[in-house]
Amino acid sequence: MTFSTDVHAQGEAAADPFGERVRPTISVRRQILGGRFRFESDSADLLDLVDAAYAGLPEHRFSTVAPEFRIELRLLPREAAATRTTPPPVRTQAGAGLLCGMMDEANYVVLVPAHHRGLVVVSQDMLAHPYHVRYELIEFAVFMLAARGLGLVPLHGACIGHEGRGVLLLGASGAGKSTLALHGLLDGMDFLAEDGVFVQPDNLLATGVANYLHVKEDVLRFLDDNVTRAWIEGSPVIHRRSGVAKFEADLREGAGRPPPAPLRLAGAVVVSAETAPDSSRLLRRLPWEQVPALLAVDQPYAAGQPGWDRFVHRLGGLGVYELRRGRHPQDAIAALRALLAAGVIGR
């Protein structure tokens, strides 16, 4: 009987070596970054990670009709008994109209942007690392397809706003973008995104995924609200590839204020780690001559994408500022609120 079963299994593998006859049994639809996404899988565990990333978020839409993006999620068995401490980093490659991101032979992403399709393959043992699967494989697929399929400029940065207008927060890792986003949230501002912002270059409408806030422990010293402190301290701790440990606080647990629609950018701020000598003068507008080169250095990937020149020209017309640190993050929030006030940005 064992011999017959093995022969039968080998025959099935020989007849379908690429797994083309595998048919996902469950599908989930989500409106993300202005696009319509359909996730298909026969694994409830993988679809749970989709929900962990995108359930409960406002459904952002642009004025144009968005195409449908389809992502198949496939779970593979893993024979290796070794336990992973840290998954291998994602290596990227492109060619023949494909975009690929690979951890190893059983954990990878293949995207066909021209056809709005993607395949995410995950091994069973990788489910022990849900953050890496969600952030580096599933969200990678969504971000790449949305940016290419909708013509969005993908930015590494944060965005907060008020009454439909937003300010883009740029700057090097560790400059304090997430800290500012948190304090803007606590001050009643809308929280669009803290790590990835996607912008239509012609009208500067910005969208993002307001699912998680990632902050280091040292941020807690500025928090006077015990409820907020308990929320963050009770959140899981994730480790970035750089080795930095951060709390991953779910914004959908009542603390978040995601805007119901994309925000129209009113300008951008480059967050500096430098402390200002006067907390009442944290901002200075950068001369236009400096802006294109500064933005290209800050956003090397986006600078090579279609729409970048239009985005820079439109943004520079509104105003790009440097923001230095004050005595307390709330000083910076006050400065950002002033920028968002009607008639201030662009002068």
Selection from 52, 244, 243, 68 nearest residue 146 by Cα: 68
The type of residue at 91 is: R
Q: How far apart are CA 317 and CA 161, in angstroms?
A: 19
3 state SS for 199-229: ECCCCCEEEECCCEEEECHHHHHHCCCHHHH
**Token pair of 245 as six digits:** 């440990």
Q: For the chain, which residues score pLDDT lower than 50?
A: 1-3, 5, 9, 343-347
Q: What is the pLDDT of residue 52?
A: 97
Q: Which residues contact 281 (CB under 8 A, 6 or more apart)?
A: none
Q: What is the pLDDT of residue 80?
A: 61
Burial of 130 (0-12, 13-18, 19+ CB in 10 A): middle
Q: What is the pLDDT of residue 6?
A: 54
Write out pLDDT tens, residues 55-97: 999 999 998 788 899 999 999 997 565 567 889 999 999 999 9
Residue showing tokens 């995207």: 111
Domain boundaries, the chain: 20-150, 154-340
Task: Please report, in angstroms and rounded to a whole number, the separation of the first and last CA atoms in the chain.
Answer: 82
**Helices 44-54, 139-150: crossing angle, 10 deg rounding:** 60
DSSP-derived pairing of the beta strands 117-123 and 107-112: antiparallel
Write out pLDDT tens, residues 173-186: 877 888 899 999 99
Check whether domain 154-340 has CATH 3.30.70, yes or no: no
**Token pair of 94 as six digits:** 């492109």
Q: How far apart are CA 175 and CA 325, in angstroms?
A: 9
Q: How far apart are CA 293 and CA 65, in angstroms?
A: 34
Q: What is the pLDDT of residue 268?
A: 96
Q: How far apart are CA 312 and CA 76, in angstroms?
A: 43
Q: What is the pLDDT of residue 325?
A: 85
3 state SS for the chain: CHHHHHHHHHHHHHHCCCCCCCCCCEEEEEEECCEEEEEEECCHHHHHHHHHHHCCCCCCCCCCCCCEEEEEEEEECCCCCCCCCCCCCCEEEEECCEEEEEEECCEEEEEEHHHCEEEEEEEHHHHHCHHHHHHHHHHHHHHHHHHHHHCCEEEECEEEEECCEEEEEECCCCCCHHHHHHHHHHCCCEEEECCEEEECCCCCEEEECCCEEEECHHHHHHCCCHHHHHHHHCCCEEECCCCCEEEEEECCCCCCCCCCCCEEEEEEEEEEEEECCCCCCCEEECCHHHHHHHHHHHCCCHHHCCCHHHHHHHHHHHCEEEEEECCCHHHHHHHHHHHHCCCCCCC
Q: How far apart are CA 67 and CA 34, in angstroms?
A: 10
Q: Which residues contact 102 (CB under 8 A, 6 or more apart)?
A: 90, 91, 92, 93, 108, 109
